[in-house]
Chain A
Amino acid sequence: MTRPRAELIRELAAELAPRRRLARAGAAALGWFAAAALLVGAATLATGPLRPGLLRQLATEPGFGIDLLLGALAAGVAVLGLMRLRIPGLANGTRAALPALGLFAAWAAWQLVEVLSRSAPASGLGQRPGCVFEVLLFALAPLALALWLARRAAPLQRAWTGLLAGVAAGALPALAMQLGCRYEPLHALGFHLAPALGVALAGALLGPFVLRRV
């Protein structure tokens, strides 16, 4: 049986206490990006060196720059969407997720473009034998951080929020592997981007369980 509304309001007013305000979506996204990039960067460097000739490749192969840009944009746009979704009324699930998913798809498509357009054979320099597991492992802390930040707010669409947390958390270590592991588009698709997609799906599945029901 529902109790009188006035009684409820009296109780709510009586227990009114100041609460710490949330950071704005952009600031929270930037904070997550910096922390996650540090974590992933440190983990990548701790487990092996960056690929030899990386700087020269960046200077001479514009396609590699586009590759990195698409990966970084996918992670950045995903976390921005996540930080918007965690605040009621600021974003809608589909509209918040589509740009990040589109960028991730463009990143994957770029690998295919590279497969078709590359004339030189792939170099085996920088091969990391366990890169697929490294992507999964390095994504754990950023994913946990993203979900924790979302949990502190009030995401109304928990699966979408979890999905965006997964896209952002998966894209960063995949990007790190593009810097540390062998640079070969088909390898990147199967061993760097595919596990990142797995992290995204795991985020979507975890979201409804980990995030509080509003």
Chain B
Amino acid sequence: MARALDGDREVYARLMTELGGVVEGFVRSRFGALRDAEFLEDCVQEALLTVHRVRHTWDRRLPFRPWLFAIVRHKVIDLLRRREVRRGEELTGDEPAHESDPAAGLDGARLLLALEPAYREALVLTKLEGCSLEEAATRTGVSTGAMKTRVHRALRMLQKRLEAEELP
């Protein structure tokens, strides 16, 4: 990283490519094999962009990993939060209902699996499956307000768990 920051573009491109893989592994290990590959790629690219934008804040005398993963964790949560709005705007009433089990396909998603089932379900439906709040509420048999609260709490729990966990 230090060499890259000194202006070596080739080294920087190599570093960014490696970081892309690291971030991808980080997200996969916490959210499992995502059905929405776009979300995974969004996480990786947003993290890379942010690393690039705030690269001057890394202190060369300090370890690189805590700095990097603080940014990655922050971006993942930020992306999940913003995703709710975007999905809500994109989906129309004509979208087909999701019939599959929302917990399916979460193998290896230790972060999600550690959440209580109701919160995990809320998060998976609205953030990873792309359901609107209303759709998720209908599927789970709760009110839209209750679903909104669950999503909000689930995100906070996720953020706390991410911040508390040991660095990979």
Contact = CB atoms under 8 A, between A and B. Distances in A.
Interface in B1-58: 4-7, 9-10, 12-13, 16-17, 20, 38, 41-42, 44-45, 48-50, 52-58
A147 B58 CA distance: 19
Interface string B69-82: 11100100010000
Interface string A5-26: 1101110111011111110100
Nearest to A156: B74
Mostly, the A contact residues are: loop
B7 A17 contact: yes
B7 to A, nearest CB: 5
Interface stretch (B59-67, B103-111, B130-138, B150-158): B59-67
Interface stretch (A59-67, A87-95, A114-122): A87-95
Contacts of B5: 18-19
Interface residues on B, range: 35 or more
A88 B74 contact: yes
B151 to A, nearest CB: 20
Interface of B: 4-7, 9-10, 12-13, 16-17, 20, 38, 41-42, 44-45, 48-50, 52-62, 66-71, 74, 78, 163
Interface of A: 1-3, 5-6, 8-10, 12-14, 16-22, 24, 86-90, 92, 153-154, 156, 213-214
